[in-house]
Amino acid sequence: MAKDKKKSNIQKKQLTLRGKSLEELQQLDVRESAKYLKSRPRRSVLRNFDMIERFIKRCEKKNSKNKKIRTHLRDLVIVPKLVGFNIAVHNGKNFIDVPITLDMVGHRLGEFSQTRSKVSHGSAGIGSTKSSRAQKK
């Protein structure tokens, strides 16, 4: 009985960014939420806030129509209003789905869509090694 009370008293860890909860951050304007970012992403957000706001409006419009959000904007800084969206980011060849979480705020979209993949070579061809040359003759 005592263990059940302890479990009910323990709450789940609330997602926060610099002391603010996700709900509080999402109610803020893009420029106001930039105050809670580190210096380099803050500078980028304050310079490009109009482009970020247009992207957020586009995301909300596509999300309401149940369409996939696809973008080439790899340098876009993730702000709290984007948390919860599932964005397909182009990696140069195809689009990779990136679900946005609170941990990603302040990073750029391109960081989560890798452009280089692991190379897996096939077996060596005939004549490429000394042993296969001997078989050729």
More confident residue, 10 or 95: 95
pTM: 0.77
Report whether 102 contacts 80 (CB < 8 A): yes
Spell out the residues 6+ positions from residue 106 whose beta carbon is closer than 8 angstroms to its own.
37, 38, 41, 77, 78
| Boundaries of every domain in the chain | 16-114
Task: Work out the average pLDDT over 25-33.
Answer: 89
Q: Rounded CA gap, 43 and 97, in Å? A: 27
Please provide the average confidence, as pLDDT, over all residues in the chain. Answer: 87
Task: Give me the CATH code for the 16-114 domain, please.
Answer: 3.30.860.10
Which one, of 115, 117, 114, 134, lies nearest residue 126 by Cα? 134
pLDDT of residue 23: 85
pLDDT tens by residue, 102-129: 899 999 999 999 999 898 888 877 777 7
Diameter of the chain by CA atoms? 82
Task: Work out the average pLDDT over 25-52.
Answer: 92
